[in-house]
Structure 1
Amino acid sequence: MKAAGSRDTQWRKVAMLAWAVEPEMVPHADETQALYVARLLQDFEYRVGAREHKPGPQVRQCTMAEWAPKHEPAASIDGATAIGSVLL
């Protein structure tokens, strides 16, 4: 019996072997299978001339919950710390 999650990493191994001659097409460490398939489609579009630029790795974007604690809210023009405080 295979270990849980082995199928999740198997696609990455297959892709690495398939793209051995083109290292820029090997999946990025943070690239999910769905994002990698999207990049393959974009690469195909690039190769047939339907896309102007060759796509790079498609890494997951951070969510607002992950992003918000790292960034302070921008001050408004009058120095208030949030838009809601200006409206009150």
Structure 2
Amino acid sequence: MSDQNDQQTFRPLEELSYEAARDELIEVVKILELGQMSLDESLHYWERGEALAAYCERYLDGASQRVEDALAKRDVTPSE
């Protein structure tokens, strides 16, 4: 079995921009599609991919909410 210390260490999600997280997710998918890792390594990358996907989804949800809020403010007419 692989030693945990031999596995790739990843930057904390909080340090990643949306674009960096998306690019890393694409790389993780490519690595997993090669199918050349042990089960433990594959699980390690799969877990990272799941975390990246969730992070990107939360980021996009937040961006969507900001757009909706901005549009709602624009459509509000001042009270007289």
Shared fold, TM over 0.5: no
Looking at secondary structure, tell me which structure has more helix per residue.
Answer: 2
Q: Which has more radius of gyration? A: 1
